[in-house]
């Protein structure tokens, strides 16, 4: 790292700056910066001190000076120390500290500091509150303090403790870029796992390996030189039994029971040998008593240990491990590691197990097994087919970077339907529709349905997914029928085609057929990874049919990928529609949490297809809450994705539109949604259930006085919604129709349309939709002079908006209520229950929730519940407003 650029440390530097600012305002303080060895403590303090524009005094403690009192102080202070009294010496420390910017006292490697120096610095902080300085200490969590008194002081004395986090794969790629190395995402991820994200270890490997190594897809990451030297030294200190234990653990890699390790290492006294290896930092113990496990201290230590063992001994240990482990996959991997040449029998066994794991949804393991199988296969056709299927499994596992890394190798293979289907599949998930179309078209040309129906069905199933992303519903159904004609429903390609086919049916106006499809699938597919696909499809269907509670339960069930096995792609789709479902039923905070939880998987997997749907919901919530910066940031992130697919483009148009609508920018709404009226998107955007936009567009037209256009648009879609008996679509369109009728003076028609909208929503848990109808209805009534009816509807809508924290609509309701002659101060005690009035009186007098609870013999949670309702009813947001309102009455 350089002094001018520090990767991934913005938050830590901001924390340190906040400490300094606070110390300048409130007096001196001390902060301990900590984390594991190689986390970059010295780099952070060096950067911070180098950029700091105030006075800095620096010291670095070393172990051989830990017994010399004042050794660290001597580096911080010029001249002689006043003696061995910490209090007097503390006064001398602050004597030269002036005003202005706080002075930084930086002590690097403070775990080696002499106790006296730390005592003096602590006394200076505690006793000289008028002085202007900050003590910044660094000490790793993984190394013991040289002196026990120093250890105690570092735990007890600092006012603040800041723990540095490891670098992320993205940070690592940026760090490599500073060195002129372009690191692919998949390799940045591998380097992250190997080094545990420790900047020092990452930097060491980037500097030590030749640049050409970083373009090798088969790169085996070694240990940094300093780790290799330490491990060699440590191995030399062990007894023969201790060394054998350390070597065996390094070969096994994953945590294994101690008795297994001891047996393979021929250790007569396993605990003594384990204790040795643990003491020198080569192995780590985990697990509860009675089930203790041994693993390498970290991947770098394991790599260094294996390098010390040599190829012969390593192969021998792998063969012995293969005979001892119970798990089939582990056994085969040890045999692969011991293999010196292609082995057809072993390759076949790996491929067979991969097929089993794929059926179970263990895609990552299946991909690994198939990759290893291909490497051991001599027959060219089999080798290429296995490698191609490995890429397919990597995509299923959500390892987009890993699959992308193998694209050059796959493209170099002879052209087959399977090869093109796999490359087309990857293009779909990366949002590259034009590439996917070309790949799949060629795959279908090459496919031979009679000779290899399973491959042809796979191509057809990929076309189903491609058609879904295109929102070409009739094509989707046709391709699904082709896939199902080629394979049994039990085949994974057949199940997924059927699961998506139901969505095509409902979009084509056949909801009854779609219901039947999912009922039959749910009955037939009861276990394995395919359950996730069927559950997602069913949840998607129920959301489209306004059966929101059922949809939520099914989508929640389709999110996990670890219990029954499952696909990262399916999980991302489930999260996207779950977030939307939570928005619709008014669980906005949970909706944001769902999207935020999906973000790491979205980035790591590079499966961006579902991203815009999540972004649309996130933008809408932030916009309705008036959180403009957060809304724009979410929109900018979404705009970085490809937009070849309609299922990506439409939500981004919607995100722009909802942001513009929240800002009362009707021209902006028109600009955002105009493309959806063009022939290229008209069919895709016609389905009203999942991507609603007609009411938004029509309302903007109405507000701009373009009444005839709004009428034509609404008429077309009202017919479709009525034919499909789609209640939420009927309600949204009726709300827009009511606004149009009110705008042209047709009051009776407007009241009828608004009543239709409310009736359509009756019994549905769509809180926000209902509140918007009530707002529009109340607004129209108020402008027609019907104040009493308007007030009831606007107040009801406002209560929902307050609960959702939809500040934009709360403000709109307040304006309408005020325009109708009802100010907040007029919303008096007649709305409050007796309990709420009692709470109001006490809170207005300045009592805390705890004090109110004690007075009224309630719990503090109950008091807070009452306050929330009181604020909503009175149209206020704080205790101060409540007190002011009471003062006016």
154 phi, psi to nearest 5 deg: -70, -30
For 824-846, give one letter per residue: b (16+ CB within 10 A) or e: eeebeeeebeeebebbbebbbee
Distances (CA, A) of 304 to 187, 241, 450: 20, 18, 53
Nearest Cα neighbor of 698 from 687, 685, 712, 710 is 710
- The DSSP H or E segment spanning 444 is helix 433-446
pTM over 0.75: no
- The pLDDT score that the predictor gives to residue 643 is 80
CA distance 650 to 372: 41
Residue 275's pLDDT band (cuts 50, 70, 90): very high
Apex 559 CA angle, 565 and 464, nearest 5: 80
Question: Whole-angstrom distance between the N-terminal and C-terminal Cα of the chain?
Answer: 64
**Residue position matching structure tokens 């080798």:** 383
Question: How does strand 29-35 pair with strand 133-140?
Answer: parallel
Evaluate if residue 3 carries a pLDDT over 70.
Answer: no
CA distance 626 to 645: 30
CB 280 within 8 A of CB 237: yes
- The pLDDT score that the predictor gives to residue 298 is 92
Residue 89's pLDDT band (cuts 50, 70, 90): confident
Evaluate if residue 825 carries a pLDDT over 50.
Answer: no
Listing DSSP states for 497-531 in one string gives HHHHHHHHHHHTT-HHHHHHHHHHHHHH--SSTHH
- Cβ count within 10 A of residue 316: 14
- The pLDDT score that the predictor gives to residue 860 is 78
- The DSSP H or E segment spanning 33 is strand 29-35
CA distance 632 to 575: 21
Evaluate if residue 563 carries a pLDDT over 80.
Answer: no
pLDDT in tens, 323-369: 988 888 889 999 999 998 999 999 999 999 998 887 776 778 888 89
As a whole number, mean pLDDT of residues 80-88 equals 81
- The pLDDT score that the predictor gives to residue 642 is 81
- The pLDDT score that the predictor gives to residue 702 is 94
Q: Is 602 helix (H, G, I), strand (E, B) or coil?
A: helix
Nearest Cα neighbor of 732 from 781, 767, 773 is 773
783: left (phi over 0), alpha (psi -120 to 50) or beta: alpha
Lowest average pLDDT, out of 105-119, 361-375, 540-554, goes to 361-375
Q: What is the DSSP letter of 166?
A: P
Listing DSSP states for 774-823 in one string gives HHHHHHHHHHTT-HHHHHHHHHHHHHHHHHHT-HHHHHHHHHHHHHTT--
Question: How does strand 293-296 pair with strand 256-257?
Answer: antiparallel
**Residue position matching structure tokens 């293009």:** 427
Structure tokens at 692: 């609603």
Contacts of 331-338 spanning 24+ positions with Cβ under 8 A: 332/369, 332/372, 333/368, 333/372, 336/372, 336/375, 336/376, 337/251
Residue 531's pLDDT band (cuts 50, 70, 90): confident
Residue 565's pLDDT band (cuts 50, 70, 90): very low
As a whole number, mean pLDDT of residues 382-390 equals 89
CA distance 541 to 64: 71
Nearest Cα neighbor of 354 from 378, 342, 336 is 336
Domains of the chain: 10-163 (3.40.50.300), 169-215 (no CATH), 225-340 (1.10.10), 377-594 (1.25.40.10), 637-822 (1.25.40.10), 829-888 (1.10.10.10)
Please give the residue that has the higher pLDDT: either 131 or 820: 131
**Residue position matching structure tokens 């359509």:** 760
- The pLDDT score that the predictor gives to residue 829 is 53
CA distance 46 to 31: 15
Structure tokens at 287: 């697990």
Q: Is 220 helix (H, G, I), strand (E, B) or coil?
A: coil
Please give the residue that has the higher pLDDT: either 612 or 641: 612
Lowest average pLDDT, out of 356-360, 552-556, 811-815, goes to 356-360
pLDDT in tens, 139-169: 998 888 888 888 899 888 898 999 999 999 8
Evaluate if residue 621 carries a pLDDT over 60.
Answer: yes
Evaluate if residue 464 carries a pLDDT over 50.
Answer: yes
CA 404 to chain centre: 21
As a whole number, mean pLDDT of residues 377-405 equals 85
Lowest average pLDDT, out of 535-544, 666-675, 879-888, goes to 879-888
For the four alpha carbons of 778, 781, 786 and 787, in that order, the dihedral sign comes to positive
Structure tokens at 100: 């202005």
- The pLDDT score that the predictor gives to residue 739 is 94
Nearest Cα neighbor of 495 from 468, 529, 472 is 529
CB 433 within 8 A of CB 470: yes
Helix and strand totals (H; E) in the chain = 47, 8
Residues ≥6 apart with Cβ < 8 Å to 722: 730
Question: How does strand 103-108 pair with strand 133-140?
Answer: parallel
CB 305 within 8 A of CB 296: yes
Q: Is 645 helix (H, G, I), strand (E, B) or coil?
A: coil
Distances (CA, A) of 148 to 38, 73, 254, 276, 833: 23, 19, 35, 23, 63
Please give the residue that has the higher pLDDT: either 867 or 347: 347
Nearest Cα neighbor of 239 from 216, 268, 263 is 268
Apex 795 CA angle, 749 and 588, nearest 5: 100
**Residue position matching structure tokens 């499952």:** 566
290: left (phi over 0), alpha (psi -120 to 50) or beta: left
pLDDT in tens, 694-706: 999 999 999 999 9
Query: Within 13 Å, how many C-alpha atoms sit on residue 668's CB side?
Result: 12
Evaluate if residue 889 carries a pLDDT over 60.
Answer: no
CA distance 876 to 863: 16
**Residue length, the chain?**
889
CA distance 487 to 495: 10
CB 859 within 8 A of CB 853: yes
Q: What is the mean pLDDT of the chain?
A: 88
pLDDT in tens, 403-448: 888 888 888 888 999 999 989 998 998 889 999 999 999 999 999 9
Question: How does strand 293-296 pair with strand 283-286?
Answer: antiparallel
- CB-count exposure of residue 686 (10 Å: 0-12, 13-18, 19+): middle
Q: Is 98 helix (H, G, I), strand (E, B) or coil?
A: coil
- The pLDDT score that the predictor gives to residue 564 is 39
Apex 768 CA angle, 766 and 772, nearest 5: 120
According to DSSP H, which parts of 663-806 are helical? 666-673, 679-682, 694-703, 707-724, 727-743, 747-761, 767-783, 787-804
**Residue position matching structure tokens 């072993």:** 346
CB 732 within 8 A of CB 758: no
Evaluate if residue 593 carries a pLDDT over 60.
Answer: yes
Please give the residue that has the higher pLDDT: either 136 or 826: 136
- The DSSP H or E segment spanning 256 is strand 256-257
Distances (CA, A) of 130 to 32, 91, 98, 869: 22, 12, 10, 47
Evaluate if residue 645 carries a pLDDT over 50.
Answer: yes
Lowest average pLDDT, out of 47-61, 390-404, 749-763, goes to 390-404
**Residue position matching structure tokens 């276990």:** 527
Q: Is 283 helix (H, G, I), strand (E, B) or coil?
A: strand
- CB-count exposure of residue 776 (10 Å: 0-12, 13-18, 19+): buried
pLDDT in tens, 476-522: 999 999 999 998 877 778 888 998 999 889 888 888 898 998 888 88
- The DSSP H or E segment spanning 207 is helix 199-208
CA distance 559 to 568: 9
Evaluate if residue 559 carries a pLDDT over 60.
Answer: yes
CB 523 within 8 A of CB 515: no
Nearest Cα neighbor of 141 from 158, 160, 155 is 155
- The pLDDT score that the predictor gives to residue 802 is 92
How is the chain split among helix, strand and coil, in percent rounded to 5?
A: 70, 5, 25
């Amino acid at each position: 790292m350089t002094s001018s650029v520090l990767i991934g440390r913005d938050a830590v530097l901001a924390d340190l700056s906040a400490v300094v600012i606070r110390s300048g305002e409130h007096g001196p303080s001390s902060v301990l910066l900590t984390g594991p060895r190689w986390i970059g403590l010295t780099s952070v303090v060096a950067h911070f001190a180098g950029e700091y524009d105030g006075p800095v005094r620096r010291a670095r403690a070393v172990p051989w000076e830990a017994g010399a009192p004042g050794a660290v102080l001597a580096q911080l202070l010029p001249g002689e120390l006043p003696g061995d009294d910490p209090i007097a010496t503390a006064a001398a420390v602050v004597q030269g500290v002036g005003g202005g910017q706080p002075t930084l006292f930086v002590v690097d490697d403070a775990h080696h500091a002499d106790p006296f120096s730390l005592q003096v610095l602590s006394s200076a902080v505690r006793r000289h509150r008028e002085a202007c300085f900050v003590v910044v200490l660094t000490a790793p969590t993984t190394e013991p303090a040289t002196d026990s008194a120093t250890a105690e002081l570092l735990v007890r004395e600092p006012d603040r403790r800041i723990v540095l986090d490891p670098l992320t794969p993205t940070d690592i790629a940026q760090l490599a870029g500073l060195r002129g190395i372009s690191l692919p995402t998949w390799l940045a991820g591998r380097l992250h796992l190997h080094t545990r994200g420790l900047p020092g270890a990452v930097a060491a490997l980037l500097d030590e390996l030749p640049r050409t190594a970083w373009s090798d897809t088969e790169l085996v990451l070694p240990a940094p030189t300093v780790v290799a030297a330490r491990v060699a030294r440590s191995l030399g200190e062990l007894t023969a039994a201790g060394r054998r234990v350390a070597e065996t653990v390094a070969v096994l890699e994953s945590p294994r029971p101690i008795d297994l390790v001891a047996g393979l290492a021929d250790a007569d006294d396993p605990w003594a040998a384990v204790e040795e290896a643990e003491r020198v930092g080569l192995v780590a113990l985990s697990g509860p008593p009675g089930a203790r496990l041994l693993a390498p201290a970290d991947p770098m230590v394991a790599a260094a240990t294996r390098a010390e063992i040599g190829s012969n001994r390593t192969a021998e240990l792998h063969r012995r491990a293969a005979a001892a482990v119970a798990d089939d996959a582990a056994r085969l991997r040890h045999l692969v590691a011991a293999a010196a040449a292609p082995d057809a029998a072993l390759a076949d066994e790996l491929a067979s197990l991969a097929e089993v794991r794929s059926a179970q949804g263990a895609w990552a393991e299946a991909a690994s097994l198939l990759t290893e199988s291909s490497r051991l296969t001599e027959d060219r056709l089999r080798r290429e087919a296995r490698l191609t299927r490995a890429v397919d499994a990597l995509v299923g596992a959500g390892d987009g970077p890993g699959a992308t890394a193998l694209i050059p190798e796959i493209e170099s293979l002879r052209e087959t339907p399977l090869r093109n289907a796999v490359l087309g599949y990857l293009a779909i998930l990366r949002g590259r529709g034009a590439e996917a179309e070309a790949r799949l078209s060629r795959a279908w040309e090459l496919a031979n349905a009679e000779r290899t129906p399973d491959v042809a069905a796979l191509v057809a199933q990929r076309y189903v997914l491609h058609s879904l992303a295109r929102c070409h519903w009739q094509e989707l159904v046709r391709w699904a029928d082709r896939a199902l004609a080629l394979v049994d429903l039990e085949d994974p390609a057949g199940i997924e085609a059927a699961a998506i086919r139901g969505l095509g049916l409902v979009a084509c106006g056949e909801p009854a057929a779609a219901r039947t499809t999912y009922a039959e699938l749910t009955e037939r597919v009861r276990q394995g990874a395919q359950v996730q696909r069927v559950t997602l499809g069913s949840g998607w269907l129920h959301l489209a049919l306004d059966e929101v509670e059922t949809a939520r339960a099914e989508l929640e069930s389709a999110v996990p990928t670890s219990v029954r096995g499952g696909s990262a792609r399916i999980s991302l789709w489930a999260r996207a529609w779950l977030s939307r479902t939570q928005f619709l039923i008014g669980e906005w905070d949970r909706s944001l949490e769902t999207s935020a939880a999906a973000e790491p998987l979205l980035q790591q997997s590079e499966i961006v297809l579902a991203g815009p749907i999540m972004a649309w919901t996130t933008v809408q919530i932030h916009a309705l809450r008036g959180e403009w910066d957060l809304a724009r940031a979410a929109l900018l992130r979404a705009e970085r994705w490809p937009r070849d697919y309609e299922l990506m483009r439409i939500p981004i148009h919607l995100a722009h539109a909802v942001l513009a609508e929240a800002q009362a920018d009707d021209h902006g709404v028109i600009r955002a949604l105009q493309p959806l009226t063009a022939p290229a998107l008209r069919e895709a955007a016609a389905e009203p259930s999942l991507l609603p936009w007609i009411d938004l567009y029509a309302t903007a037209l109405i507000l701009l006085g373009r009444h005839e256009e709004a009428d034509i648009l609404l008429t077309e879609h009202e017919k479709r919604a009525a034919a499909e008996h789609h209640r939420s679509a009927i309600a949204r369109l009726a709300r827009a129709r009511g606004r149009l009728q009110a705008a042209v003076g047709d009051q009776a028609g407007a009241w009828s349309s608004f009543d239709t909208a409310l009736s359509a929503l009756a019994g549905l848990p769509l809180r926000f939709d209902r509140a918007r109808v009530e707002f529009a209805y109340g607004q129209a009534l108020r402008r027609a002079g019907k104040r009493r009816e308007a007030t009831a509807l606007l107040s009801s809508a406002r209560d929902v908006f307050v609960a959702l924290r939809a500040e934009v609509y709360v403000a709109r309701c307040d304006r309408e209520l005020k325009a109708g002659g009802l100010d907040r101060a007029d919303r008096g005690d007649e709305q409050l229950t007796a309990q709420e009035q009692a709470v109001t009186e006490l809170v207005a007098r300045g009592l805390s929730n705890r004090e109110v609870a004690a007075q009224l013999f309630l719990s503090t949670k109950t008091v807070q519940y009452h306050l929330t309702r009181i604020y909503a009813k009175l149209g206020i947001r704080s205790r101060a407003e409540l007190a002011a309102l009471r003062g006016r009455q």
